[in-house]
Amino acid sequence: MGDDDETTALICDNGSGLCKAGFSGDDALWTVFPSIVGRPQHQVRLNNINKKPDH
């Protein structure tokens, strides 16, 4: 690992609007990014494709 034998916990906050992460004992977060969860607005339809079975 390294010369430092100290173990630091990783803190993750999976919020409804933002995900935040950092290490315990730090004064500030390491990263903040939006929580994006969803599904496609439109379903893609592929018509007239001559697909052979996989088996």
Apex CA 2: angle with CA 12 and CA 19, to 5°? 10
Q: What is the dihedral of CA 38, 44, 50, 54, to 10 degrees?
A: 0
Strand order of the sheet with strand 10-14? 10-14, 18-23, 31-34
H-state helical runs in the chain: none
Residue with structure tokens 């496609």?
40
Q: What is the pLDDT of residue 26?
A: 92
Q: What is the pLDDT of residue 28?
A: 92
Q: What is the dihedral of CA 28, 29, 34, 37, to 10 degrees?
A: -140
Q: What is the pLDDT of residue 38?
A: 76
Q: What is the pLDDT of residue 22?
A: 95
**How does pLDDT run across 3-54, given as a tens digit for each residue?**
667 888 999 999 888 999 999 999 999 999 998 877 777 777 766 666 666 6
Above 70 in pLDDT, residue 1? no
pTM of the model: 0.53
